[in-house]
Structure 1
Amino acid sequence: MFKVFITLSTLTLAVLCAPPGWPTAEEAKAEMEASGLSAQAADGILKIATDFASNKPAEGIEIDREAARAAFHQFIDKVNEYIKTQSPADQTAYEAFVAKKKADFESRIAARKAENQ
């Protein structure tokens, strides 16, 4: 579950926030497809992300962290449900994608810790 949390948080932030230097939805889709996910599976994940983006608070409104956490867990649950409906190849590719994202995240955290010491 933690691997999925890390991966999807990265993907969700990338798709929904898209600050400079973060991948667009098209780039996120290309990355998922490069990991072996089919275009259909990647589109489904991005559709779920888009549905959750419509619940994003307006600019300048303080974010309720507990509500955001609950919404994120709902997002993860929806993606997990969706992935279970996809082919075994897509499920395997998704797990590999999650593992790669987790490793990338952990290396960035380690680098930040090293900088702060």
Structure 2
Amino acid sequence: MCKLFVAVAFCALVYANQMPPADEMKTKLVAAGVSDAAAAGLVDIGEKYRSQVQALIKGDDEAGWKLFNTIKAESDAYIATQPETDQTAYNAFVEKTKANFQAYEETSVAESA
């Protein structure tokens, strides 16, 4: 699971203190055009950190960002080794996830005002 699974997705997951099931995340990546093999590799990275994400104490920003940056760095390094088509699809997935997260945040802020 931030370029975010991923950068933004992992950030959201860290702060929500939960991660979607691996098969669900893989399905979303494949549906976005990432190859099955590349999606599996990205999911493996997220799975490696699943227990740490779930163990984070909500509101521990420093630990959350440290974990986020670790996952992002590994995800970025991995996707850079994949074919251009996977990189393009992955980047589009990240941008769409980021836009969805920002829309959710804006809605949440507006509703709490």
Q: CA-to-partner distance for each residue in 1:44-94, whole Å, 9 max, x for gaps?
A: 011111112244575xx8575423321221111000000000000000000
Q: Distance in 2 between matches of 1:48 and 1:25?
A: 10
What TM-score does the superposition give when structure 2 sets the normalisation length?
A: 0.78
Hey, what does 1:39 align to over in structure 2?
36
Bigger Rg, structure 1 or 2: 1
Q: Which consecutive unaligned segments of at least 5 residues does structure 2 have?
A: none
Hey, what does 1:79 align to over in structure 2?
75
What is the Cα-based RMSD across aligned positions, in Å? 2.5
Q: CA-to-partner distance for each residue in 1:4-63, whole Å, 9 max, x for gaps?
A: 2313324x55xx824xxxx421111111101000111111011111112244575xx857
8 A Cα contact 1:84 1:91, kept in partner: yes
* Change in 2 beyond 3 A, CA 1:87/1:66: same
Hey, what does 1:7 align to over in structure 2?
9
